[in-house]
Amino acid sequence: MKSIYSLLLITLVLFITSCNDYLEKDPIGLLTPEQVNLDPTVTGVEYSVTSSYQLLSSTLNIIGEWGWDDGTVLRNDFILQDIASDDMIKKWNPDGDQAWMDEFNNFSFIASNGGFNGMWSYEYEGISRSNTAISYLADDEMMGKLDIPEVLRKRMLGESYFLRAFYYFNLVNNFGDSPLLIKPLTSFEEAYSVAVRTDKAQIWQQISDDLAEAKNLLPNSKYSDDEEKWRASKGAAVAMQAKIALFNENWQDVISLVSELEGLGFYELNVNYFDNFNIDMEYMEDEVIFMYDHQAAQTPRKGNGLCALLGWGFVAPESNFVEEFEAEDPRLLYTVNVEDKYVNKILGTLDGSNKGNDDSPSNKVYIRLADVLLWKAEAYLQTGNTVNAISIINDIRERARNSVAFDGSMPPGGTLPDRDENSTDTNEIMGWLMHERRVELGFESHRFNDLKRWGKAKEVLGARGFQDKHYLYPIPQGEIDKSGGTITQNDGY
């Protein structure tokens, strides 16, 4: 029963692949099957929370071992969100290497493409680990026996609720209706019972409930833990609440929640744009709200393995992404240096350092204030407050034009002039917003989601093959097959 139980925790609703091979390996991350099944120690409970973060990393081989065909070598956001958008192509010099990635650029994929399996597997593995942590931390009897301080218990429980919400957000946004699991599975019978798709409205509600719990439990400070500043914080929970409101077009809630976040007093736009990504500025800047903390030379490994792929020529800009930038906008070269073929945002450096390094320390930024403020600008625009919408857009542009440029100089006068604050043309202002989000947040895995929620994906990407069905990705065909058909496919696939 131990083997069955641990397997279910890892693969969830009987998503069983290579079971024996998996169980023969050393533990993925920080929990062994014995720690899962026996009465946990204080260390075991703490590890259950820490391991729940691991599926947000770009570290190589977190699940599986060089599973290119099943999309599990590393986290797939850059494929399913960036390559699928009009920002990124797979390689600087197109070739047949990992051709399945190219299928996202031209929307020729089918449900058996490994990219979907990779995303699905990472999100559900993260949910599984979060569920385990929650089951421990919400057990008053267990907590009493372990004598975990209440402040620590509340913080770790808040982190776990946040992470479960974060993983479910990615699932419902990419796949729509999905199996909903909110506790560890203990039998095959239980696994079969949940191997069905839950209406997305119920999942959105679960996400909202989890974030409300997280906000209530996490400490009222910029960092939940001053020693481990990468942990989910109250600010991250509030920001995610605003993002949920944004994706559900609850515009007044977006405005209120972003105002609440600003009222915490923890965040402001960095003076220099690249400080958000610079490995020398990590946890010394003021803008990043939530990131994955990549570190070199750790056991188990915590490096940013995506940098290794850059050394093989992966990850390059679309030509029209480069053309989107206005003259002298310093954000272009801070994002991608076309001449030298460096993707600086990912590398965390400006000289190509870390390119080819499979254990790079450059963090993966998930939420930062500029992104959040532009949500508020959009909400203002949608509610008729054009003045405030334009003001926020101009704040973002002001920071960009006042950032030291790539070569150390200041951008020349007249760079990125303010938008006309007297404009009341909502279409014009929306165009300004769409432009600003693209150049400000390029290569941060937001563009494809933006195009979808704006209803612009077919207009922008239709010539490349985007169809209405692509507003949702297909459920991985392997998961449908393993469920015996109880998990159904999205329309059109």
- Other Cβ atoms less than 10 A from the Cβ of 476: the count is 26
pLDDT in tens, 326-344: 999 999 999 999 999 999 9
Whole-number Å distance between alpha carbons of 102 and 412: 38
Residue written as token pair 């990043």: 288
Residues 180 and 210 sit within 8 Å (Cβ to Cβ): no
**Secondary element (H or E) of residue 292:** strand 288-292
With b for 16 or more beta-carbon neighbours within 10 A and e for fewer, the 274-305 pattern comes to bbbbbbebbeebbbbbbbbbbbbeeeebbbbb
Conformational region of residue 417, where left means phi above 0, alpha means psi within -120 to 50, and beta covers everything else? beta
Residue 10 has pLDDT above 70, yes or no: no
Residues 254 and 307 sit within 8 Å (Cβ to Cβ): no
* Strand extents, DSSP E, 46-170: 88-91
Whole-number Å distance between alpha carbons of 339 and 49: 42
373-377 CB contacts, 8 Å cutoff, 24+ apart: 373/258, 373/269, 374/433, 374/436, 374/437, 374/440, 374/441, 375/242, 375/243, 375/246, 375/254, 375/258, 376/242, 376/254, 376/255, 376/258, 376/259, 377/433
Angle at which helices 369-382 and 251-263 cross, to 10°: 140
Q: Tokens standing for 393?
A: 């857009």
Share of the chain above pLDDT 70, in %: 92
For residues 194-208, give the mean pLDDT.
97
For the chain, the structural domain boundaries read 1-218+459-484, 221-453
Whole-number Å distance between alpha carbons of 208 and 330: 37
With b for 16 or more beta-carbon neighbours within 10 A and e for fewer, the 347-365 pattern comes to bbbbebebbebbbbbbbbb
pLDDT value at residue 38:
53
For residues 60-65, give the mean pLDDT.
94
pLDDT value at residue 5:
32
What is the CA 162 to chain-centroid distance, rounded? Answer: 13
Q: What is the CATH number of domain 1-218+459-484?
A: 1.25.40.390
Residues 372 and 444 sit within 8 Å (Cβ to Cβ): no
Note the CATH architecture for domain 221-453.
Alpha Horseshoe (1.25)
pTM of the model: 0.93
Whole-number Å distance between alpha carbons of 461 and 342: 26
Residues 358 and 305 sit within 8 Å (Cβ to Cβ): yes
Please give the C-alpha separations between residue 304 and each of 119, 166, 359, 375, 475, in angstroms, as whole numbers.
17, 20, 6, 28, 27
SS3 396: helix
Q: Which of 17, 128, 6, 109 is nearest to 67 (CA)?
A: 17
Residue 270's contacts (CB-CB under 8 Å, 6 or more residues apart) are: 276, 285, 286, 287, 399
Please give the C-alpha separations between residue 20 and each of 3, 192, 221, 370, 429, in angstroms, as whole numbers.
10, 20, 45, 46, 57
Residues 72 and 63 sit within 8 Å (Cβ to Cβ): yes
pLDDT value at residue 97:
95
Per the document, the length of the chain is 493
pLDDT in tens, 15-55: 333 333 333 333 333 344 444 445 789 999 999 999 999 99
Q: Tokens standing for 145?
A: 């026996």
Please give the C-alpha separations between residue 310 and each of 96, 136, 194, 353, in angstroms, as whole numbers.
16, 40, 39, 11
pLDDT value at residue 188:
76
pLDDT value at residue 190:
81
* Equal fold, 1-218+459-484 vs 221-453: yes
pLDDT in tens, 227-251: 999 999 999 999 999 999 999 999 9
pLDDT in tens, 419-455: 999 999 999 999 999 999 999 999 999 999 999 999 9
Residue 91: beta bridge partners?
A: 314
Q: Which of 344, 354, 343, 431 is nearest to 386 (CA)?
A: 431
pLDDT value at residue 14:
34
- Omega before 476 cis (within 30°)? no
